[in-house]
């Protein structure tokens, strides 16, 4: 199992490859706000664990195992953002909240949160009913 920090890297690498077609150490360092030497170290570790293949001058590619987990991690992040949004969390708090909780929930909890998200997405009246409760506390 990847550690929370490894999960952050795999999530970011997957996103970079999705959007740009490649993930360079410098891009990973910049978007995660860490020193490039830390990225190199972590990338070597992820290579050993067979999440990716890293070649110093050619960059890195995710293995199918790395790609699969990267995809799940991005899905999890996006699901939690949608969930916090629909339950009415202030927009400027959502990203940091997701970064804070995403590594600490079981996949079972993620799936159940997905159920609640679907429950609200299926019927806007449910969202409005929730807003009514929230307004009643103001
Ligand atoms: Mn994240």
**Residue-wise pLDDT tens digits, 41-94:** 999 999 999 999 998 777 899 999 999 999 999 999 999 999 999 999 999 999
- Centre of ligand 1 to C-alpha 137, Å, is 31
- Centre of ligand 1 to C-alpha 28, Å, is 13
Which CATH number goes with the domain that contains 38? 1.10.10.10
Give the domain extent around 116. Answer: 74-137
- Centre of ligand 1 to C-alpha 102, Å, is 7
How many domains in the chain? Answer: 2
Contact 31, 90 (CB under 8 A): no
3 state DSSP class of 55: strand
How far is 80 from 62, CA to CA, in rounded Å? 24
If asked whether residues 8 and 65 sit together in one domain, one would say yes
Average pLDDT, the chain: 95
Segment 17-42 shows an average pLDDT of 94
Binding residue numbers:
8, 11, 77, 99, 102-103
- Centre of ligand 1 to C-alpha 132, Å, is 30
pLDDT score of 33? 93
Query: What would you report as the CA-atom Rg of the chain, rounded to the nearest whole angstrom?
Result: 18
Binding residue numbers for Mn(2+):
8, 11, 77, 99, 102-103
pLDDT score of 125? 98
If asked whether residues 65 and 78 sit together in one domain, one would say no
- Centre of ligand 1 to C-alpha 108, Å, is 18
pLDDT tier at 108 (50, 70, 90 boundaries)? very high
If asked whether residues 98 and 132 sit together in one domain, one would say yes
In whole angstroms, how far apart are CA 116 and each of 12, 105, 126?
26, 15, 11
Q: Which of 49, 69, 89 marks a domain boundary?
A: 69
- Centre of ligand 1 to C-alpha 30, Å, is 15
pTM over 0.85: yes
Segment 12-33 shows an average pLDDT of 94
Whether the predicted pLDDT of 100 surpasses 80: yes
If asked whether residues 118 and 78 sit together in one domain, one would say yes
Which CATH number goes with the domain that contains 114? 1.10.60.10
How far is 104 from 21, CA to CA, in rounded Å? 29
If asked whether residues 116 and 92 sit together in one domain, one would say yes
Segment 95-99 shows an average pLDDT of 96
How far is 32 from 134, CA to CA, in rounded Å? 35
């Amino acid at each position: 199992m990847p550690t929370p920090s490894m999960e952050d890297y795999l999530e970011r690498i997957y996103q970079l490859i999705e959007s740009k077609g490649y993930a360079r150490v410098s891009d990973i360092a910049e978007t995660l706000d860490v020193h490039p030497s830390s990225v190199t170290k972590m990338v070597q570790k992820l290579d050993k664990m067979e999440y990716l293949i890293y070649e110093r001058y050619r960059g890195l590619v995710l293995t199918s195992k790395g790609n699969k987990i990267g995809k799940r991690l991005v899905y999890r992040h996006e699901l939690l953002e949608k969930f916090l949004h629909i339950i009415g969390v202030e927009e400027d708090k959502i990203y940091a909240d997701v970064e804070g909780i995403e590594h600490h929930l079981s996949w079972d909890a993620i799936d159940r949160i997905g159920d609640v998200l679907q429950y609200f997405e299926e019927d806007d009246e449910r969202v409005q009913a929730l807003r009514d409760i929230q307004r009643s506390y103001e």
